Amino acid sequence: MISQNTIAQVFETARVEEVIGDFVQLKKSGSNFKGLSPFTDERSPSFMVSPVKQIWKDFSSGKGGNAVTFLMEHEHFSYPEAIKYLAKKYNIEIEETIQTDADKEDANERESLYLVNDFANDYFQKTLHQTDQGKAIGLSYFKERGFTEDTIKKFQLGYSLDEWEAFTQAALSSGYNIDYLGKTGLTIIKENKQFDRFKGRVMFPIHSMSGRVLGFGGRILINDKKAAKYLNSPESEIYHKSKVLYGLYFAKQSIAKEENCYLVEGYTDVIQFAQRGIPNVVSSSGTALTPEQIRLINRLTNNITVLFDGDAAGLRAAIRGVDLILEQGLNVKICTFPEGEDPDSFARNNDLDEIKDYLANNSRDFISFKASLLVEEAQNDPIKKAETIGDMVNSIAKIPDAIKREIYVQECAKIMNISEKVLFSALAQKQQKNLRDSQKQVSTEQKAFEVIKSEPQTAPKVDRQYELERKIIEILLLYGNKKERFEDLVLKENEKTKGLELEPVVQEAFVYEKIYLDLQEDEMQFTNGNFQILYYTLLEKLNQNQEFDIKDFIQQLDQDMAHEVVSILMEEEKYTLHDWERKQIIPKTKTQSLSQLVTQTILSLRCFLIDKKVKNYQYETTLENSSNQSILEDVKDYLGLKMLLSRKLGQVVGGKI
């Protein structure tokens, strides 16, 4: 168990904007930050972070919370794992009891798989540095590739002994379950036999965005035609290769800082570039690039530069990847190396300045790259040239942004010496075809299911009482400890007209006192259970200490209550996503008319409750099929009160306080 002192220190030190900034590219938006949702596929930002309140809210998925909650949602950490991650990030020493074998046994399967991978990662590194075979074969290989000791340690490179069961036996001797060794793919289990998957290979651990070991890549060092040169961990509950990029854990901060991500093919490409001083580089690890991998990069930057070998296979791979990146709405450039060179060898043979100059001078916009490549293939053949133009139009059609599409059409027209009009016409035809194909696909999918006719759905009815109760909780959270001058309206007899009039009476009070006293008049109870609990918890906290801290308050709540509070607090922030201020539309803040807001909310709720009460009385009278005198008198009294409150509300809304 982690001590409460450590947990308190973590919460006190961790900054939500810094923690989330490691995973999502955040941009300043007033006093907040905004970015693309890391939980859904979107192109417009709906993710808000409030440094003042130390909370975040994702309006596209509905998730929200503090720094710990983010790690639990995004990285699937348990609560202790999130605390440990933050403690490591902020160099906080963790006070905890030693994990026993019983604790390991109780851990769920997912956590057990991580534990097995952690053990394997440590084992492979020790084998590399502390065994004769590891030093003679594995370490020698890495040194031949030009990797320094610091680089080897940073990327946690290792070696798996060239023995059938060396790792498996070591893991079993340390108390790890054979089932989990099999599920991670570290051990291959066949009938009564078990042996190491990565026997005789140098090891590259594959990390998640937060640094957890998800799986491994292993390279064989002997010429064996029957064995694959590179071997990756199989798919498991924690490792999905289509959703992982090698090196992203080490590159994420530099990618966000440089506003660009270099995309390469292999492990050693990433390591060589990072060692040379270009850390914003990741690899698809030999797999075909996927939309999920592109979206990982998109959380940090909109710009990708694809680095490929200069051979024909590398160029074809570059073209396939370009269309997929364009489809995801990112900006893409291509840089190829001289024939016979790849990113690894080029980084080894050149210094940092030479590499930077080469990348700057040879990174070409995708349209000019694709055009030059395809034109060279077409040469003077008009049919091939027409096919080349069609190919380029297909790529442009994948771009979701209309302005970018038009710019690329103009660029393509210049390069290919063809009129823009013809290209725009071809683009329109392609888009129409894409639309027809997608509609046809939808229609085909729909036919697979039985069509059930139903009544047309009406828009959901707004629960007014829920919204008003929620607004009261929001006011208490944001302004409960503020002292305001409240103008109340009381009935007094006008001496001249002898009639009753509303006369203003000004009093000074804390916001929480005003709300409590006004709602007490009606003996009001919240209908929403969470709001009821929050209401009395807030009143107690505010009454005990006017120095109310929202961050501390949220930390003391359970997960469901904390999520409710975050949703309430961040509701208004979603409107800042639209950059109203940039459009010269300045929304009025609540603090500009706080006393008016409080009074208006309370009066609206009281009027609503009276309406509800009157309807209940009318319903009772209908059931009894009589005109109960006492009920009628109560209804009359309530209607009179409703009229008074409505007059007050009208003056509060229309007048100035």
- Backbone angles phi and psi of 219, in degrees to 5: -110, 130
In a domain, 455, yes or no: no
Distance CA(535)–CA(540), nearest Å, equals 9
Are residues 225 and 366 both part of a single domain?
no
Which residues, 6 or more positions from 104, have their beta carbon under 8 angstroms from its beta carbon? 112, 115, 175
The answer to whether 370 and 408 have CB atoms below 8 angstroms apart is no
Look at residue 39 and tell me if it is in a domain.
yes
Same domain, 327 and 411: yes
Q: Are residues 170 and 285 in the same domain?
A: no
Statement to judge: residues 63 and 124 lie in one domain: no
**Grouped pLDDT means (10 residues each) for the chain, 657 residues:** 83 92 89 89 85 88 88 83 90 75 63 94 98 97 96 98 96 95 96 92 95 95 85 94 94 91 94 97 85 90 87 64 86 89 94 96 85 70 82 86 88 86 88 73 52 49 83 89 79 61 75 83 76 86 78 81 85 61 49 76 81 71 59 63 66 49
User: Which tokens belong to 50?
Assistant: 């409030």
362 within some domain: yes
Domain check: are 492 and 635 in the same one? yes
| pLDDT for the residue numbered 585 | 47
With respect to residue 233, please indicate whether it lies within any of the assigned structural domains: yes
Cα torsion angle, 61, 66, 72, 74, sign: positive
Tell me how far apart the terminal alpha carbons of the chain are, to the nearest angstrom: 54
Same domain, 477 and 604: yes
In the chain, the amino acid numbered 454 is S
**Which of 438, 472, 489 delimits the end of a domain?**
438
Among the three residues 211, 239, 267, which one is the final residue of a domain in this structure? 239
What is the chain's alpha carbon radius of gyration, rounded to the nearest angstrom?
A: 33
pLDDT the model gives residue 195: 95
The answer to whether 231 and 218 have CB atoms below 8 angstroms apart is yes
Same domain membership, residue 537 and residue 395: no
H or E segment and range at residue 303: strand 303-308
- Is residue 396 domain-shared with residue 280, that is, in the same domain? yes
Residues 208 and 326 in one domain: no
Q: Is residue 106 part of a domain?
A: no
DSSP string, 182-251: HHHTSEEEETTEEEETTTTEEEEEEE-TTS-EEEEEEEE-S--TTS-SEEEPPP-SS--GGG--BTHHHH
pLDDT, residue 634, reads 62
Task: Give the angle subtended at the CA of 201 by the CAs of 195 and 206, to the nearest 5°.
Answer: 95
Question: In this structure, is residue 315 part of a structural domain?
Answer: yes
Q: Name residue, tokens 């939808």.
A: 442
Do 120 and 59 reside in the same domain of the chain? Answer: no
Domain that holds residue 132: 114-239
CATH number of domain containing 141: 3.90.980.10
35: CATH: 3.90.580.10
Domain count, the chain: 4
Q: What share of the chain is helix, strand, coil (3-state, %, to 5)?
A: 55, 15, 30
Position 543 in a domain: yes
- Residue finishing a domain among 239, 259, 286: 239
What beta strand segments (E) does 409-514 contain? 483-493, 500-510
Query: Do 10 and 146 lie in a common domain?
Result: no
What residue type is assigned to position 144 of the chain?
Answer: E
Q: Are residues 492 and 595 in the same domain?
A: yes
| Residue matched to tokens 């392609």 | 430
Residue 450: inside a domain:
no
Phi, psi of 204, deg, nearest 5? -120, 105
